[in-house]
Structure 1
């Protein structure tokens, strides 16, 4: 007798994993004050650890900070986080990010990321959209490029995403998309 997992057990397992990930992400607790505190800490960490990002933020039309994304995957995967959009250092909106993926993957991780909107047009497009999706071809800067990120990548890209502070391990190859949605915490 073979013990293959059923479709129902896989779906229930992923649902439980997503629920646990959301619980660890502060979903449903303290609203705007908690998000702002996490964004402040994330921005301070980012500027202190990767000095080139301070210049990048000063030249950006706005920056979306996502202080804590929690991701888990076992063939199907997902991630969730909440953050704030800041223009000239002031929070103007709050957003959630949801990510779905499918492919050969297993594991869990947490990370932070920031989207630097380098043109007013890119920022306006983001803010007007009902839900903004980052496509699979969106290129992420790596922490190793943090010292020089303000020079090379921003001349071409209207939006510069930067992922940092990864903890945990997730391995594999997958196709994923991220959707950012304005929220009222």
Structure 2
């Protein structure tokens, strides 16, 4: 009995941590329940969020507009909600635009282990700079950053200029929060899957 007590305590602590993370994750948004929204409403919300996200990106880094225009495909997740309490999770929905036209809706999910409690929302933008990178993404049945392709998160200078080496990579990523572009962020391990919207 004495030997099983620490094991039981660890199991109870892990279960409690997952439960608290779930409560934080579900309770930290004021947006309406997405499950009850129709597919058309979800598409409209994603599209308007995408337009606002791109506008914010261009304000933070005017040079990014030329990069977006050169991209073969632009995948935008306007609101990726992350919550953590030892065990973390993040989730968001986005749209792929090819030639300025909506070409499919996607979800992104990722998990992490950390020691900070809290929740935050960020926007993630992926630019597919080559036809090959875009086709590999579109033809995949589930796609993971780091396993299926490397994403070069853009290094943006104080004046909003983008590092030229980053801009030449097949897939370029940007991460924005309310404060603007986030530096030193990794997208490694993020899983992206097609949605039926």
Give the TM-score band, short-chain normalised. Answer: 0.7 to 0.9
Q: In the alignment, what sits opposite 1:171? A: none
Q: Give the 3 Å change call, closer, same or farther, for CA 147–71 of structure 1 in structure 2.
A: same
Q: How does 1:10-159 map to 2 (within 5 A)?
A: 10-21=17-28, 24=31, 27-28=34-35, 29=37, 30-135=41-146, 138-144=151-157, 147-149=160-162, 151-155=164-168, 157-159=169-171
Q: In the alignment, what sits opposite 1:177? A: 189
Q: Does the 8 Å contact 1:39/1:67 carry over to 2?
A: yes
Alignment partners' CA distance in 1, 2:15 and 2:46 = 35
Question: Between Structure 1 and Structure 2, whose CA radius of gyration is higher?
Answer: 2
Q: Give the 3 Å change call, closer, same or farther, for CA 134–26 of structure 1 in structure 2.
A: farther
Alignment partners' CA distance in 2, 1:85 and 1:132 = 14
Q: Which has the higher strand share?
A: 1
Alignment partners' CA distance in 1, 2:63 and 2:159 = 6
Cα distance per residue 1:128-181 (max 9 Å; x no partner): 1111111287442255478322733122x21001111246xxxxxx99621111
Cα distance per residue 1:72-124 (max 9 Å; x no partner): 11221011111110112111111111111123343221111100101101001
Gaps of 5+ in 1: 168-173
TM norm structure 1: 0.82
The answer as to 2:14 corresponding to 1:7 is: yes
Shift of 1:44: 1.8
User: How many residue pairs end up in the alignment?
Assistant: 176
Q: Which has the higher contact order (CA 8 A, sep 6+)?
A: 1
Q: Secondary structure at the match of 2:154?
A: coil
Alignment partners' CA distance in 1, 2:161 and 2:70 = 14
Shift of 1:8: 2.1
Q: Does the 8 Å contact 2:20/2:85 carry over to 1?
A: no
Shift of 1:27: 2.7
C-alpha root-mean-square deviation of aligned residues, in Å?
Answer: 2.8
Alignment partners' CA distance in 2, 1:19 and 1:65 = 22
